[in-house]
Amino acid sequence: MQPLSDRSNPLITAFPAELASDAEAVLAVMPDSRLQPHASFSVAVEGQQVSIPGRLSNDEPPTARVVRLVRVFRPAVR
């Protein structure tokens, strides 16, 4: 699994700063990538620049880890 990261991780910088902890929670269940994200492009989201990866090369995370993640985020979605 990927280590928790800082704002230098390309998958963290794909989200506005206030969502960094959510992005880190998702990264924690994702298997390590075989390759670095490819061909990023910048966009503004509510006035913040974010860098969106054009392609990711991660395998699917194990189902059990995804289920735990859904339980954590489900209350926030309702």
Closest CA to 67 of 31, 32, 29, 33: 29
More confident residue, 72 or 24: 24
Two tokens, residue 33 = 């990538």
Residue closest to 10 by CA, chosen among 34, 47, 46, 36 = 36
Distance, in Å, from the CA atom of 26 to the CA atom of 23, rounded to the nearest integer, reads 5
Q: Say what the pLDDT of residue 6 is.
A: 57
In tens, the pLDDT along 43-68 reads 999 899 999 988 877 888 888 888 87
Q: Mean per-residue pLDDT for 21-49? A: 86
With left for phi above 0 and alpha for psi between -120 and 50, is residue 10 left, alpha or beta?
alpha
